[in-house]
Amino acid sequence: MSSAQQPAPPRPTSRDVARAAGVSQATVSLVLGGKWRGRVSAATAERVRGSARELGYRPNLAARSLRLGRTRTALLVVPALTNEFFARVYTGAAAVAAEHDFGVVLYPSPDGTGPARDPFASARAALDGVIASSMAADALGALRSADLPLVMLDSDPQDPGPAARVNLEITDGMRQVAEHLLGLGHRRFVHLASAVDTWTFAVRARALAEAVRSVPGTTVHRVAAPLDVRAGREAAEAVLASPGPPPTAIVCDDDILAAGACKAVRRRGLRVPGDISVTGFDDLALATAVEPELTTVRLPAEQVGERGMTALLAVLDGRPAEQAGLPVHLVVRGSTAPPPAS
Amino acid sequence: MSSAQQPAPPRPTSRDVARAAGVSQATVSLVLGGKWRGRVSAATAERVRGSARELGYRPNLAARSLRLGRTRTALLVVPALTNEFFARVYTGAAAVAAEHDFGVVLYPSPDGTGPARDPFASARAALDGVIASSMAADALGALRSADLPLVMLDSDPQDPGPAARVNLEITDGMRQVAEHLLGLGHRRFVHLASAVDTWTFAVRARALAEAVRSVPGTTVHRVAAPLDVRAGREAAEAVLASPGPPPTAIVCDDDILAAGACKAVRRRGLRVPGDISVTGFDDLALATAVEPELTTVRLPAEQVGERGMTALLAVLDGRPAEQAGLPVHLVVRGSTAPPPAS
DNA sequence: CCCCCGAAGTTTTACGTATAACTTCAGCCT
DNA sequence: AGGCTGAAGTTATACGTAAAACTTCGGGGG
């Protein structure tokens, strides 16, 4: 603040290192690039490394990128970082990236809130690949047109676009939820779904509907809401206020909606899980912060990021990316119980 | 997956645009750089822009960075993105950055979990500046040594290091909490503090102690916990189990801890706020997800990021960065009430 | 004895951009 | 007429790196 700007001592270049070690710049590049076996003597190589260390040499990434045509940077497209799930996906992806000297840059995708910019307006030229989470079809189009290697997270397996895909076994997770509730005796369900129209949520709806079909006399009433607590509460309140017999279980697409649903139930003077059971999805920190703690499906968010990055690195190397769904599992806590004896 | 890798049509360069428009590469650069007034005729400029658009030209960022010595990229150092507060800080910073064609890259700082890497091992050479949130002193050292413009968020005003600083009026926020509770009649406080030793938390403790001093006979018992719900609950349980008269209010450094405290209170068979009032800090989504909803202090997280980025841009431009504390305010909800009549 | 080879380098070049320095030429004043 | 000026370009260069192509030289095989 008060201190004046430093005169900025220019960062040492490979040429400076070369001068210090008494060799040519090319030799420095060979040694530091690790491809010197049979080209440079061990003694010289050691001398070069010494000079580099002494000068605190760091290669200029811009120059390297320009030369190589690769940037060692991946773009991660997520709906919103404020959703803990995606923050964790990022964390996993960034960890794997760091191990391979890769960087991860984020693009919170257009869900209406951000400035409507081309995701690649500035980034495109500086990227080696893209990892994109489940998103609306139109936004997907933009990603396609950028002829970059693309890894999709939790997306439709039918879709031929991406070079690789990392999926969660969402269907299985929702089936576990359904079986848990059916086993407890529930027959009248409300599915509090996300209003976002992406594959991962479509799957939840389908899985629930199918799982429930095996037990005759079961009903599922679906209602959608944006992913926040208040919206979830309001949607659930509307359902509970509607005529007819009330549901005994509210299955939510997300822990956030489940938290809202719990509030709605109590606002009507009913109890969770005594009168109505509620289930979440994701197992966010929120799930154990509310009371009762939520019965939910734990998703390995960090692993999704890790696998996504690993797959992208494989694709960039021309190697095949292994395709496997990540298993998920039900975590039973306090928000589910048998329905009240009618 | 099945589709073979495209032959990768090489990205058009400014030279390609020049050829298409029948001018030299220099002219393209002038036109697209916006500094063509008086150097290029309007007709030519328009023709160049047309060719660029037609070819889908995007400048190569690596080349530009190499030439200019600037990368238009800032590093944001935060403890953990999974903390909603920092995710929001990022969102704000990224929004302002995008308006100025800047990128923001993240470095989740070393809090034990991540791989212990030099924050700048790979990034340093590719950065124009750093925005760092309140962090432990030793980690700060590494930031200092990177002779980059540094903007600190919510840090000690005494510290002469950073080129600019964006602070929250934390002291005022905590005073509002204290006055609210004192006004309700509370006299026996527990301060459930963050175990993290950074300025922003030190300030909370000091502010609470000072505010409380104005009312004789008031006590504050301080206990620290890591920032998660379970740790908060356990710390609060320990306090409540200790001998002596129980507190009537638990003031928490954070909504997450407050959620834990609420659980602890209820586990002892007491009620929030009937028996014990609880306050949070930050006003995360969590604050309105739990029941009762938390009385807390709303921090303008996005604004912190916005101001931080704005300040960094100013510093990079050689302009002075305006220094002002961002106001915060108490949000009274359902987790506070007068103490029980003894 | 000559040639070739491999080791250990060096010289050179290209990546794509921004800009300083130069060129060309029409118009205009004196 | 001569020269100056400004507009509208162009040419040339540097940024720092990686790597292909070249050089040098000592030794070993035919």
- CA B288 / C1′ D9 distance in Å: 64
The 10s digit of each residue's pLDDT in B25-38 is: 999 999 999 988 88
How high is the pLDDT of residue B299? 98
Q: Is A195 exposed, middle or buried (0-12, 13-18, 19+ CB in 10 A)?
A: middle
Question: Is residue B158 scored above 90 in pLDDT?
Answer: no
In whole angstroms, how large is the CA radius of gyration of chain B? 26
Percent of chain A with pLDDT over 70: 90
The answer to whether residues A57 and A14 touch, using CB atoms and an 8 Å cutoff, is: yes
A48: the nucleotide nearest its CA (via C1') is C9
- CA B54 / C1′ D5 distance in Å: 37
Q: Which residues contact A154 (CB under 8 A, 6 or more apart)?
A: A133, A134, A166, A167, A168, A170, A199, A200, A304
> Do the Cβ atoms of B291 and A291 come within 8 Å?
yes
A24: the nucleotide nearest its CA (via C1') is C10
pLDDT: which is higher, B267 or A144: B267
Distance CA A18, CA A13 (A): 9
Tell me the three state secondary structure of residue B249. strand
Distance CA A340, CA B19 (A): 78
- CA B26 / C1′ D10 distance in Å: 8
How high is the pLDDT of residue A113? 40
> Do the Cβ atoms of B82 and A266 come within 8 Å?
no
Tell me which residue in B81, B123, B229 faces A81 most closely, judged by beta carbons. B81
Tell me which residue in B101, B123, B160 faces A122 most closely, judged by beta carbons. B101
Q: Which residues contact A12 (CB under 8 A, 6 or more apart)?
A: A55, A56, A57
How high is the pLDDT of residue B10? 76
How high is the pLDDT of residue B118? 56
How high is the pLDDT of residue B11? 86
The 10s digit of each residue's pLDDT in A36-75 is: 888 899 999 999 999 999 999 999 999 999 999 999 999 9
Question: Is residue B6 scored above 70 in pLDDT?
Answer: no
- Mean pLDDT throughout B134-143? 70
The answer to whether residues A306 and A97 touch, using CB atoms and an 8 Å cutoff, is: no
Computed over every residue of chain B, the mean pLDDT equals: 89
Q: Where are the beta strands (DSSP E) in chain B?
A: 73-78, 103-108, 129-133, 150-153, 164-168, 188-194, 219-225, 249-252, 277-279, 296-298, 325-326, 329-331
Question: Is residue B219 scored above 90 in pLDDT?
Answer: yes
Distance CA A296, CA A282 (A): 7
- CA B48 / C1′ C30 distance in Å: 40
**Measured between CB atoms, does B16 come within 8 Å of chain A?**
no
Distance CA B79, CA B198 (A): 11
Partners of A105 in the beta sheet?
Answer: A75, B105
CA A286 → CA A67, A259, B259, B288, distances in Å? Answer: 47, 8, 10, 11
Distance CA B87, CA B83 (A): 6
Q: Out of A37-41, B174-178, B219-223, B225-229, pick the least confident.
A: A37-41
- CA B8 / C1′ D11 distance in Å: 32
What length is written for chain B? 342
Percent of chain A with pLDDT over 90: 70
The number of helix segments (H) and strand segments (E) in chain A equals 11, 12
Computed over every residue of chain A, the mean pLDDT equals: 89
Reading the block at residue B295, the tokens are 């009385």
The set of strand C positions with any atom below 7 Å of a protein CB reads: 7-12, 14-21
Reading the block at residue B80, the tokens are 């953990």
**Measured between CB atoms, does B7 come within 8 Å of chain A?**
no
The 10s digit of each residue's pLDDT in B58-107 is: 999 999 999 999 999 999 988 888 999 999 999 999 999 988 888 898 87
How high is the pLDDT of residue B148? 86
**Measured between CB atoms, does B292 come within 8 Å of chain A?**
no
Residue type, A33: G
Tell me the three state secondary structure of residue B208. helix
- Mean pLDDT throughout A317-339? 93
CA B324 → CA A225, B44, B135, B168, B327, distances in Å? Answer: 39, 47, 20, 9, 9
- Residue among A60, A61, A288 with most chain B CBs within 10 A, to mutate: A61
The answer to whether residues B301 and B89 touch, using CB atoms and an 8 Å cutoff, is: yes
The answer to whether residues B326 and B169 touch, using CB atoms and an 8 Å cutoff, is: yes
Residue indicated by tokens 């400014």: B14
Q: Which residues contact B191 (CB under 8 A, 6 or more apart)?
A: B204, B205, B208, B220, B221, B222, B223, B250, B251, B252, B253
- Mean pLDDT throughout B241-260? 96
Other beta carbons within 10 Å of B226: 16
Partners of A325 in the beta sheet?
Answer: A167
A&B contacts, CB < 8 Å: 162
How high is the pLDDT of residue A3? 42
Q: Is B61 exposed, middle or buried (0-12, 13-18, 19+ CB in 10 A)?
A: buried
C-alpha atoms less than 13 angstroms from C-alpha of B41 in its C-beta half-sphere: 4
The 10s digit of each residue's pLDDT in A64-104 is: 999 999 999 999 988 888 999 999 999 999 999 988 888 89
Q: What is the torsional sign of CA B199, B200, B204, B205?
A: negative
B-chain residues near A63 (CB < 8 A): 62, 66
Question: Is residue A5 scored above 70 in pLDDT?
Answer: no
Q: What is the 3-state secondary structure (H, E, C) of A150-208?
A: EEEECCCCCCCCCCEEEEECHHHHHHHHHHHHHHHCCCEEEEEEECCCCHHHHHHHHHH
A-chain residues near B120 (CB < 8 A): 58
Q: Is A246 exposed, middle or buried (0-12, 13-18, 19+ CB in 10 A)?
A: middle
Tell me the three state secondary structure of residue A283. coil
- Mean pLDDT throughout A219-229? 96
User: Which string of DSSP letters, residue by residue, matches B55-75?
Assistant: HT----HHHHHHHHS---EEE
Distance CA B281, CA B320 (A): 31
Q: Out of A19-33, A323-337, B16-30, B108-122, pick the least confident.
A: B108-122
B-chain residues near A103 (CB < 8 A): 105, 122-123
- CA B52 / C1′ C27 distance in Å: 33
- Mean pLDDT throughout A116-144? 69
In whole angstroms, how large is the CA radius of gyration of chain A? 26
Strand order through the sheet with B129-133: A325-326, A164-168, A150-153, A129-133, A73-78, A103-108, B103-108, B73-78, B129-133, B150-153, B164-168, B325-326
- Predicted confidence band at B16 (pLDDT cuts at 50, 70, 90)? very high
Residue indicated by tokens 């209003």: A195
* A8: closest chain B residue by CA: B147
3-state helix, strand, coil in chain B (%, to 5): 40, 15, 40
Other beta carbons within 10 Å of A332: 15
Reading the block at residue B253, the tokens are 């450094």
Closest residue, by C-alpha, to the C1' of D20: A26
A66: the nucleotide nearest its CA (via C1') is C15
Distance CA B292, CA B271 (A): 10
The set of strand D positions with any atom below 7 Å of a protein CB reads: 7-12, 14-21
Distance CA A189, CA A186 (A): 7
Q: What is the torsional sign of CA A286, A289, A290, A291?
A: positive
Tell me which residue in A3, A91, A103 faces B82 most closely, judged by beta carbons. A91
- Predicted confidence band at A135 (pLDDT cuts at 50, 70, 90)? confident
Closest residue, by C-alpha, to the C1' of C6: A38
Tell me the three state secondary structure of residue A295. strand
